[in-house]
Amino acid sequence: MIRYVHSCGSTQDWAKSCGEEGIYVCGSQTKGRGKNGRIWVSPLGLGLYMTILKFTDYPIKKLANLPITVAKKVKEWMAEKDVLAEIKEPNDLVVNGKKISGILVEKRGKRLLIGIGINLNYSKEELPYFLREKATSLFIEKGQRLNPLNTVPEILWHLEDIKLY
């Protein structure tokens, strides 16, 4: 099931609090975060903010490659948009050295959370000043704006063959 809200703290926290398997998507995040709690700036309409919650008995050690596996699938999706990203281990995608996407994988008991953030529609001016030399977006790279909600099924199609149990 896909759940959508206009705004939330973070999709990871929202999915944890709901505790039901599914896909959690929001229009904007007020407390988006990446690896090591780094801030993920998440304004309305400028990115895709999504978490997949799955229950699994798989031990975390067997999921060690999952961030890279998910990053490869997001990279494939970007290639379809003519954006050639590179994986910056362990969990980022970059274009010309600038971050365009982040993957956040967490395991809490049997709950596996896969967070995906993609900078879609930022112009250079819309990026926060402190990120302008460090981040990019599909719009900056290709000049095409995408509806974040339309990207959800496209991304999920790429992820469907990942075995999580």
Domain-embedded: residue 165: no
pLDDT of residue 34: 63
Closest CA relative to residue 25, chosen from 148, 141, 111? 148
pLDDT in tens, 113-163: 999 999 999 999 999 898 899 999 999 999 999 999 999 999 999 999 887
pLDDT of residue 19: 84
Domain-embedded: residue 152: yes
Residues forming a β-bridge with 99: 94, 135
Name the domain count of the chain: 1
pLDDT of residue 145: 95
pLDDT of residue 43: 82
Domain-embedded: residue 50: yes
Domain-embedded: residue 37: yes
Question: What is the average per-residue pLDDT within 91-111?
Answer: 94
pLDDT in tens, 1-33: 999 999 999 999 999 999 899 999 999 998 876
How far is it, in rounded angstroms, from Cα 114 to Cα 1? 15
pLDDT of residue 113: 94
Task: Give me the count of residues in the chain.
Answer: 165
Domain-embedded: residue 164: no
DSSP 28-87: EESS-B-GGG-B--B-TTSEEEEEEEEE----GGGGTTHHHHHHHHHHHHHHHTT---EE
pTM for this prediction:
0.93
pLDDT of residue 62: 80
Domain-embedded: residue 114: yes
* Strands of the sheet with 92-95, listed across from one edge: 2-8, 22-29, 47-55, 111-119, 98-108, 92-95, 86-88
Is 165 a residue whose pLDDT tops 60?
A: no
Domain of 100, CATH number, reads 3.30.930.10
Question: What is the average per-residue pLDDT within 49-66?
Answer: 89
Domain-embedded: residue 74: yes
Domain extent, residue 41, equals 2-159
How far is it, in rounded angstroms, from Cα 145 to Cα 60? 37
Domain-embedded: residue 60: yes
